[in-house]
Structure 1
Amino acid sequence: MTTPGLLIGAARSGSGKTTIALGLMRALARRGMRVSAVKCGPDYIDPAFHAAATGRESLNLDSWAMEPALIAELAAGAGQGADIIIAEGAMGLFDGAPGGAAGVGASADIAALLGWPVLLAHDVSGQAQTGAAVIRGLAAYDSRLTTAGVILNRVGSERHRRLVTLGLEGTSLRILGSLPRNDEVGLPERHLGLVQAGETSDLELRLEALADFVEAHADVPAIVAGARAAPAPPQAQAQITRPPAQRIAVARDDAFSFFYPHLARAWRAAGVEIVPFSPLEDQSPPLDCDLCWLPGGYPELHAGRLAQARNFIDGLRAFAERRPIHGECGGYMTLGRALIDAQGVAHEMAGLLDLETSFAKRKLHLGYRTAKLLEDHALGKANDMLRGHEFHYASILKETGEPFVLARDAYSETDAPAGLRNGRVSGSFFHFIG
């Protein structure tokens, strides 16, 4: 792969990675560069913002769920027809979990595997010389990595900037940007992260403002110069994601949007036809499809509207009489009998699984998961192992029936039943990555 890349990493979530990544992507795109974007880790929301900023589809790279050859293949595909690849890290640069396929799932793994330098974004609010100490530590922690430079974020004053910069004297670390505190620049958020790109009505204005902000306070040409091309990928056959069916009806709208781009690409490359439909528009899955896939998303925010979408609900029930249906997370909740919203109001769902969930009783469930199929399924054969993650706030009030998988988190050696399977219908809170 010859396309140069750069990974934006930080000490923790909330350091400004997304602000810098989107501002830089849009700034480069409007300079005429062909920018390709990548998100590290299992994040469904940020890639849609990347696509809006660059005009090109983004994708996820995950060293916990993906083998090195697959990561290299996906990165090479992202670089085709691009002048630069900007990768946005997740959480802290070195945060991850044990037992991964190619690493611990940390953004640092991706930078190391692909030879991309790291552009450190550090929030210096509440710090001065200590900020420099943290930056030094991040840069020196992993010998596999090189640091392209540092962007200071939320700088309070010129004196504040000088104090941090003095702490970096005598090192090779270059300050490539100093972003002042600015509460006017940013994107709206909610419980699972940013409000989705498709729901942000003034997104273009916000992206332009982010680009202006980065252009004004960072050395964009120097940042571009710090990108590097990855070495030749490992000579290994990338694991091909086996398509679950030939013609797949996929729910796609604001309630069901958590669908990984790399899976869609792999399925299409294998000759699969993906047929989108919108439950919020009361559309039913076409009965001539071989499988109906209900991704995760925000059904809890649209429960009343979904309950009234009788064509959708009746269409799901009719589909289940002929072909398989699988639901992930929000899709799983929709296949149940009832979904209780944040106000405590119960809404009737499809009733295809003996499941009741509540968003009124919220508890964060987050982390990587391995799952073993208990029976043959569209996703594999009985006893096949799947890799993925779980990320939701909904609570289970009732879950009765045959389990879909035996699952464990990355820090456990104990399998536990997860999800449900009832005839042709299956689902769980588990998001499949590969």
Structure 2
Amino acid sequence: MTFGFQLFAFCVTSLLLTIVVAKSLRSTFTVNLILSSLAFLGAMKLIPSSKSLFLKANCVGIDVNKLNKPQIPESIGLVVACCYFICMGCFLPFPFKESPAGNKEFFYCEYVEMVCGLLSICYMVLLGFVDDILELRWRDKLVLPAIATLPLLLVYHNNGGSTYVSMPSLLRPWFGGAVDLGYFYYLCVSVMGVFCTNAINILSGVNGLEAGQSENRAHYVSLFFMMPFVFVTLALTYYNWFPAEVFVGDTFCYFAGMTFAVAGILGHFTKTLWLFFIPQLLNFIYSVPQLLRLIPCPRHRMPRLDESTGKLINSFTSFKPLELSPSGRFIFNVLKFLRLAKIIDDGSGHVRMSNLTLINFFIYVFGSKREDKVTASLLLLQVMCSFLAIYIRYGISPPIFVVGD
């Protein structure tokens, strides 16, 4: 059975199931769970079926951290994104099929917001696939996600979305309970979309890493976006885990980042979303000297394989410290003094410094490890930071902010 026929069968099955479920169930959460489970099964079936298509189109990547350097299908994030959109397309009418009397305009506004949220995600999937094929420059990667957030931001503005930000208790005597950021709020949200889409892409390079609240109605909307995403990501993780059968590509990184951004914007918990990106924020801050070219940055900064042991070791960038700009030399000296990177001086004025990524820093601190153990350790860090984010949001935040996010 061809990939196209399997995808068509998945669409028809989802549609028929939606019709059956619509007559028997009223709980939108249950409907979302059922369709998400179907999306998981569809992704589990479609991913292996699509591998030959990507190989034939030469959409492949070389797994440089394996001894035999196999060619693996790349951009498989496109397949799980298709499953996600089919699931969401079938689910979308359910939350709004029965509008309470007098609330039709409110339900219509929410419906349009969800549609525009999906449109923004769809834009990023397209741009991610273009990036996989054309290998866009970093300056393009910063601009394009901001453009993709425009439909969502414009609808949010037209629907009278709040631009107020609650203030901590200590600042309320001077600024009041909340501050209206006005149009600056939309700039901040657009920057969040740019960060989310690129942060996952920056913190990647080992098998399985990319793919590894219900207080009010707005939180339910975000839950409806995230549940199908979690299910299709589980299917992708199964095939992307060490040793990887497929690569997720920038397509999935952009898809995942924009999905998080849309959920945070529509759920009105953008500050909480930043807390869940603590590892990505740390990785971004650590990477800034290379991203800004203050320190030489190679095309790929992922760790490399020590073929004698089968373990990952640091990858390096080479340069002469004296040839760096004054700011570059200052940052290099700080990194050297604080021992935040592995630096090897050959005595001739050249140095080799480990690339500034969280993965390389982990290997520098804890030593070389097998690729799957590095992935598991970093995912454990992500889980710990998520619990920390929950504690900050629901343990520390309420007495400081008094009101909700």
TM-score under structure 1 length normalisation: 0.21
TM-score under structure 2 length normalisation: 0.22
Q: Which has the bigger relative contact order, CA under 8 A and spacing at least 6?
A: 2
